[in-house]
């Protein structure tokens, strides 16, 4: 795709796209139609195949949007200057070769600066957080921790225009149906008057504002908590924090419950049990020899709750029993490293959350090509894991466990450089 041409297209044919929109516009929305310039004239037609493809896509998408309840006026107002964004295409296609080890990620997430600022904001916003906690029953420390990790407390909301990013993803993203569905949701938000399209800023993938909600999440869960009539997760701290608490509440947050605990592992343990897809009660885990790493007893209220054993860096690193509230955080963002960072940050605000066990610093995580090589080796050795895509999912972990068991290693299903080295020779 010659991306520079897409930019030229923006300059040359923006007017032509607008004209198409205006001709098709059936019903005018009084609030937004006044903003559409009246004197636009048709400009040069699209100059190449890709330009024509985007113009065709916009025409087709406009019909889809109108079927979903977007007025022609809203569509034309929001989309009038939109052209594909090459940065978004590049970000969408980039599958990074290197991943940060989880300990480096947590070091940044739990920096002294982030902890100190969160503590100060908890004090500063006490009255507001009292009301939010009363309304939604979610621990204020977790709400503020999410705020701290999603946007560094509102500092980094992303600078991309969300409408443009989503139009790009809908037109030529790896998951165009995602881009289109999110763009329609974004247009609904604009149509409701919550935000002007040019102020709708976020990440290249369409995560918006201080809570980094994607448009469908915003539509379902964002709130106007300061009562000004607009759900504003870009500028209003009240709307931001209440929307986050509300999203956790509907994600089955249990009021007064814990997220989980770091645990000390017994000398002999079947590490095949360490998988987020497997749950046992705290009482059952206790019987298997797991204890809290800080030496305290598990709270009596949690003993019947189901928990999973999470080993973020394999059996050589820290171990955590994670409870239902941890899964509520995973609804926000499906990465266990993220949910652990939120959980530990919320504990740090309370003067806790230090990890007792050291990390296995000598076990660096595999690069993308090494993960693909590991999957190829698993196949060659007869361990079926599904598609060789470089992604360590459930099936790959299962295949790794089988290999580990066959050579007498603890079957934690965790891929490391030393495991790959062993597989190359054995
Ligand atoms: Ca508001």
Confidence of residue 44 (pLDDT cuts 50, 70, 90): low
Residue 46: its pLDDT value, please?
Answer: 52
Output the average pLDDT for the chain.
88
Answer yes or no: are the C-beta atoms of 25 and 72 closer than 8 Å: yes
Tokens standing for residue 286:
């206790």
Judged against a pLDDT cut of 80, whether residue 25 lies above it is answered with no
* CA 256 to ligand 1 centroid distance, Å: 27
Judged against a pLDDT cut of 70, whether residue 141 lies above it is answered with yes
CA gap 25, 19 in Å, rounded: 10
* CA 145 to ligand 1 centroid distance, Å: 21
* CA 224 to ligand 1 centroid distance, Å: 4
Residue 364: its pLDDT value, please?
Answer: 87
Residue 50: its pLDDT value, please?
Answer: 80
* CA 222 to ligand 1 centroid distance, Å: 10
* CA 72 to ligand 1 centroid distance, Å: 26
Answer yes or no: are the C-beta atoms of 50 and 79 closer than 8 Å: no
Residue 195: its pLDDT value, please?
Answer: 95
pTM of the model: 0.86
Chain length of the chain = 426
* CA 413 to ligand 1 centroid distance, Å: 46
Greatest CA separation for the chain: 78
């Amino acid at each position: 795709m010659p991306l520079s041409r897409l930019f030229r297209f923006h300059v040359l044919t923006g007017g032509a796209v607008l004209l198409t929109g205006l001709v098709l516009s059936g019903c005018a929305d009084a609030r937004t139609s006044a903003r559409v310039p009246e004197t636009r004239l048709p400009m040069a037609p699209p100059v190449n195949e890709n330009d024509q493809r985007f113009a065709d896509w916009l025409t087709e998408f406009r019909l889809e949007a109108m079927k979903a309840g977007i007025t022609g006026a809203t569509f034309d107002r929001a989309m009038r200057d939109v052209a594909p964004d090459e940065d978004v295409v590049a970000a969408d296609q980039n599958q990074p070769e290197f991943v940060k080890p989880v300990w480096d990620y947590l070091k940044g997430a739990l920096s002294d600066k982030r902890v100190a600022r969160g503590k100060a904001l908890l004090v500063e916003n006490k009255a507001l957080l009292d009301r939010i906690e009363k309304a939604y029953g979610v621990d204020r420390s977790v709400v503020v921790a999410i705020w701290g990790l999603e946007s560094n407390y509102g500092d980094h909301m992303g600078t991309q225009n969300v409408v443009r990013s989503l139009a790009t993803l809908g037109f030529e993203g790896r998951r165009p149906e995602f881009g289109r569905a999110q763009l329609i949701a974004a247009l609904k938000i604009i149509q409701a008057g919550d935000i002007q399209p040019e102020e709708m800023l976020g990440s290249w993938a369409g995560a918006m504002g201080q809570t980094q909600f994607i448009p469908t999440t915003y539509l379902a869960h964002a709130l106007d908590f300061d009562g000004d009539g607009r759900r504003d997760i870009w500028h209003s701290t009240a709307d931001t924090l209440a929307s986050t608490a509300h999203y956790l509440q509907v994600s089955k947050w249990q009021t007064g419950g814990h997220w989980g605990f770091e645990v000390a592992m017994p000398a002999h343990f079947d590490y095949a049990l360490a998988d987020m897809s497997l749950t046992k009660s705290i009482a059952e885990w206790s019987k298997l020899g797991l204890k809290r790493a800080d030496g305290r007893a598990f709270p009596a209220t949690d003993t019947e709750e189901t928990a999973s054993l999470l080993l973020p860096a394999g059996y050589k690193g820290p171990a955590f029993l994670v409870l239902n509230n941890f899964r509520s955080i995973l609804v926000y963002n499906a990465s266990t490293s993220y949910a652990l960072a939120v959980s530990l940050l919320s504990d740090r605000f309370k003067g806790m959350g230090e990890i007792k066990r050291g990390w296995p610093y000598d076990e660096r995580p595999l690069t993308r090509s090494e993960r693909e090589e590991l999957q190829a080796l698993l196949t060659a050795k007869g361990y079926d894991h599904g598609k060789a895509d470089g992604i360590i999912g459930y099936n790959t972990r299962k295949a790794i466990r089988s290999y580990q068991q066959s050579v007498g290693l603890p079957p934690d299903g965790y891929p490391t450089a030393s495991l790959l080295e062993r597989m190359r020779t054995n």
